[in-house]
Amino acid sequence: MQLMKQQPNFLKIKTALALCGTLFLTHCSLIGGSGLKRAKNMSYSVPSSWIETDSDDESDKAFKLSSGSTVTLTSSCQNSRQATLESLTKDLLLGARKVRFIKQEKINIANAQALFSHVNATVEGKAFQLLFVVTKKNNCIFDFSLLSPKSIPQQEISEFLDFAKSFNYGQN
């Protein structure tokens, strides 16, 4: 019974974060001109246990994990802002409260610098954990996210990082 009560709250958190991400990406598209432009011809490897799910056009791709966590990949190619990876990551957390960075480190993805972040935060009073990888490549911003209503197991963190590091876009 407890799981059924938690599910709607998790969906609210996911919707709130998706809205925040959409607002951020819409802001980027307004700066760059008309309509949101997504990246084309991306490639990546997805763990076989991940199930592709509908992203409702909030993201380029979305996946459901057996734990109930959600992974998304979102792109915006509207004259990529000169913002730092740190500020782009903070923009993705708009609307979240009690934000606490557990870990943040620079990594390399597709021959470009990226920022990995592990975050604890709340939305509408509900706690969650989030993993982000944010990078810029060929005038596009890419963000990878994993949202979980509970502590993220090390195996999921490793799979998420492998997914992000498998990413390729443009000429390398």
Per-residue b or e along 124-159, where b marks 16 or more CB atoms closer than 10 Å to that residue's CB: eeeebbbbbbbbbbeebbbbbbbbbbeebeeebbeb
* pTM, 2 dp: 0.76
Residue 20 has pLDDT above 80, yes or no: no
pLDDT tens string 120-150 = 999 889 999 999 999 988 788 899 999 999 9
pLDDT for position 21? 45
Of residues 32 and 69, the one with the higher pLDDT is: 69
**What mean pLDDT, rounded, does the chain reach?**
79
- In the chain, the domains with their CATH numbers are 2-165 (3.40.1000.10)
Nearest one of 62, 86, 88 to 163, comparing CA atoms: 62
- For residue 97 the two structure tokens come to 């409260």
How large is the average pLDDT for residues 55-65? 85
**Strands across the sheet containing 97-109:** 51-53, 61-64, 70-76, 140-148, 126-137, 112-123, 97-109
